[in-house]
């Protein structure tokens, strides 16, 4: 049995990755279960797992020991996030399960979060480790493998049409690291385009006060919304390999971004700007708008093909199977 272990109170790239990972493991014929440390009200991932018929359970401080003690050498615990990783390493001393830890955090942390993540890295010699980007991988003091994110169910490749007025989107947590403040600034520089935000977070007031932006809030899944967008903008200060970029491109939505994390492994150089020069994103957006239907369609088709050939789930399974030591 593979247990995907996480402490999660919201929905973002990590949670989307866990859903994709669980479905991939099950498709390959292995048992999988998502284990949450604590239950949070109205968590979108619960419903998504139920829809995919992926079993999940909740444990807590009082039931944690009993859960881990009953695991055996044939079980795999794959922890995501510093809290899950530290808990799983602690109980690994009491049981013989295989332990895998994924490092997702590409942003600079401060305060208690920085302390906990530092402890997570310092104890990484107690687990087999995976990073979603080379930059994150380089920060782990012990052996760590690179395993880039992937898409499980690729939508059919179709020839899309762009809207007459370019529809530009931001998808993700409304935070400083994700650069939502930058996205709001871009929206004010490009009145010929229409801007959309899908997500919620600590900087929601910036979006609420921006009359130029259509704010849709946090949505359970973007699958039914991608057709509303012609372009995804990633204005982040730090990233790993964002699931939003993979999903957008799989649906034929081109992406322009700051060159952070693993985005250079995904996007052509013409779609990237140096992170400190993020305001140059206005040039890329404007250029794409001016190319009209032909230029946009070429980039849309390139995006779909790029994901299908290099970021489909099946391309990652051999490495995952070896990490999990599954036959």
CB 121 within 8 A of CB 141: yes
Q: What is the CATH number of domain 2-150+313-324?
A: 3.40.50.2000
Confidence at residue 327, expressed as pLDDT on a 0 to 100 scale:
63
pTM score of the predicted model: 0.80
What residues are paired with 129 via a beta bridge?
101
Higher local confidence (pLDDT), 226 or 148: 226
167-310 CATH choice from 3.40.50.300, 3.40.309.10, 3.40.50.1100, 3.40.50.2000: 3.40.50.2000
pLDDT digits (tens, 9 = 90+) for 35-63: 999 888 878 889 889 998 999 999 988 89
E strand or H helix that includes residue 128: strand 128-131
CB 199 within 8 A of CB 172: yes
Backbone angles phi, psi at 20, to 5 degrees: -65, -40
pLDDT band at 103 (very low <50, low <70, confident <90, very high): very high
What residues are paired with 168 via a beta bridge?
195, 231
CB 281 within 8 A of CB 256: yes
> According to DSSP H, which parts of the chain are helical?
13-27, 44-51, 64-69, 82-92, 111-122, 134-138, 180-189, 204-208, 243-250, 281-290, 292-310, 317-324
The average pLDDT across 272-287 equals: 96
Residue with tokens 């490495």: 319
Q: Residue 80: pLDDT above 80?
A: yes
The average pLDDT across 195-222 equals: 91
pLDDT band at 108 (very low <50, low <70, confident <90, very high): low
Q: What percent of the chain has pLDDT over 70?
A: 98
Q: How far, rounded to the nearest angstrom, does the alpha carbon of residue 253 sit from its chain's CA centroid? A: 17
Q: Which residue intervals of the chain bear CATH 3.40.50.2000?
A: 2-150+313-324, 167-310
Closest CA to 232 of 300, 171, 308, 177: 171
Q: What is the mean pLDDT of the chain?
A: 91
Higher local confidence (pLDDT), 324 or 105: 324
The average pLDDT across 240-263 equals: 93
The average pLDDT across 12-27 equals: 88
pLDDT band at 140 (very low <50, low <70, confident <90, very high): very high
Q: Residue 248: pLDDT above 90?
A: yes
Confidence at residue 104, expressed as pLDDT on a 0 to 100 scale:
84
Rounded Cα distance between 26 and 24, Å, is 5
Q: Residue 105: pLDDT above 80?
A: no
| Strands 213-217 and 272-273, bridge-based pairing | unpaired
Confidence at residue 106, expressed as pLDDT on a 0 to 100 scale:
63
């Amino acid at each position: 049995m593979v247990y995907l272990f996480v402490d999660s109170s919201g929905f973002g790239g990590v949670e989307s990755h866990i859903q994709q990972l669980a479905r991939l493991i099950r498709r390959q014929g292995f048992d999988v279960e998502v284990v949450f440390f604590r239950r949070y009200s109205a968590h979108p991932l619960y419903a998504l797992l139920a829809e995919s018929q992926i079993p999940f359970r909740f444990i807590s401080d009082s039931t944690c020991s009993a859960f881990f003690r009953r695991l055996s050498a044939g079980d795999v615990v794959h922890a995501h996030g510093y809290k899950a990783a530290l808990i799983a390493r602690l109980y690994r001393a009491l049981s013989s399960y295989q332990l895998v830890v994924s490092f997702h955090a590409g942003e600079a942390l401060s305060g208690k979060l920085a302390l906990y993540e530092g402890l997570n890295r310092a104890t990484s010699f107690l687990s087999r480790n995976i990073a979603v980007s080379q930059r994150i991988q380089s920060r782990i003091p012990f052996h760590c493998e690179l395993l880039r994110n992937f898409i499980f169910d690729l939508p059919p490749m179709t020839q899309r049409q762009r809207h007459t007025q370019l529809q530009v989107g931001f998808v993700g947590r409304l935070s400083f690291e994700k650069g939502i403040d930058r996205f709001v600034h871009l929206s004010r520089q490009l009145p010929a385009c229409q801007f959309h935000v899908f997500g919620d977070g600590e900087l929601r007031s910036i979006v609420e006060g921006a009359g130029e932006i259509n704010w849709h809030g946090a949505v359970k899944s973007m699958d039914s919304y991608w057709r509303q967008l012609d372009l995804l903008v990633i204005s982040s200060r730090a990233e790993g390999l964002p699931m939003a970029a993979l999903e957008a491109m799989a649906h034929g939505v081109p992406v322009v971004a700051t060159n952070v994390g693993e985005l250079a492994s995904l996007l052509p150089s013409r779609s990237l700007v140096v992170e400190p020069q993020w305001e140059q994103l206005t040039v890329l957006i404007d250029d794409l708008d001016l190319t009209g239907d032909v230029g946009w369609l070429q980039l849309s088709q390139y995006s779909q093909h790029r994901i299908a050939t290099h970021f489909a789930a099946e391309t990652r399974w051999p490495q995952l199977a070896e990490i999990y030591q599954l036959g």
